[in-house]
Amino acid sequence: MKVLGIIPARFGSSRFPGKPLIDLKGKTMIQRVYEGASKCGELSKVIVATDDERIYTHVRSFGGEVMMTSNLHSSGTERCAEVAAHFPDMEIVVNIQGDEPLVNPIQLTELIQAFQHGKVEIATLVSPKIDSSELDNPNRIKVVIDYNQNALFFSRSRIPSGMFASHYIPLKHIGLYAFRNDVLGKLVSLPATELEKSESLEQLRWLYYGYKIKTIETLIETPNIDTPADVEAVLKQL
């Protein structure tokens, strides 16, 4: 399979403006993500997708591949789709989070290998390691799956509710996605739904319109940087 890895990166994050260019022990975050993803042998090409000239110039300076994209995109998925449209020969597209400087190539391999089964349209990673504090943390996305390991629902709330006695524990969603290239093009043309707005989770739009999301269990979880407060934890691991 020909696999395209895309790293969406925008400068104007509301919680941490300019974070792709922050210094993490001598390298910027976007450089660390790019170099980490490039170690995955399953990826045919890695490219940064940005709407900012500063990020574009910086990626070029360390020898990375980068493309300018529209500044009107509302999600990283839309930014990925714009770039992927230029590479119709790529069968699979992986959306690599631009705020995970410790991205693990093994995680990417686990995700990509899901597409060895021809019926898989979308795949994402989940972890069985979820503690009680995360169950009630709206920033930790929970997912429940069916018998075939396809996602049934994603939520910021505890699911199931716990109202009745049960030993069922949801999985924790790890925000890495991969798509068949033709499917990705269709997903970004779907109208938004009230269901996704209720949770602010775009994957609920895909489920609503009948797409299946294959979940792949991983024991690897790397820290991301959402706010300046997250930087110290990453520095300790570098």
- Tens of pLDDT along 76-99? 999 999 999 999 999 999 999 998
User: What pLDDT does 84 receive?
Assistant: 98
| pLDDT level of residue 163 (50, 70, 90 thresholds) | confident
What pLDDT does 118 receive? 83
pLDDT band at 160 (very low <50, low <70, confident <90, very high): very high
Percent share of the chain, pLDDT over 90: 80
Higher-confidence position of 238 and 193: 193
In 143-220, alpha helices (H):
181-187, 194-199, 203-208
pLDDT at 229 over 90: no
Average pLDDT over residues 103-119: 94
Distance separating alpha carbons of residues 217 and 141, to the nearest angstrom: 15
Q: Write down the pLDDT at residue 225.
A: 86
Q: What is the mean pLDDT of residues 55-70?
A: 97
**What local confidence, expressed as pLDDT, does residue 23 receive?**
94
Q: What is the CATH number of the domain that holds 128?
A: 3.90.550.10
- Alpha carbons within 13 A on the beta-carbon side of 96: 37
Give the residue numbers spanning the domain of 23: 3-237
- Residues 84 and 7: their CA atoms lie apart, in Å, by 11
The three-class DSSP label of residue 95 is strand
- What's the number of domains the chain is made of? 1
Closest among 30, 18, 17, 20 to 64, alpha carbons compared: 30
Q: What's the pLDDT score for residue 162? A: 84
What pTM was computed for the model? 0.94
- Please tell me the distance from the alpha carbon of residue 89 to that of residue 106, in angstroms, as a whole number: 24
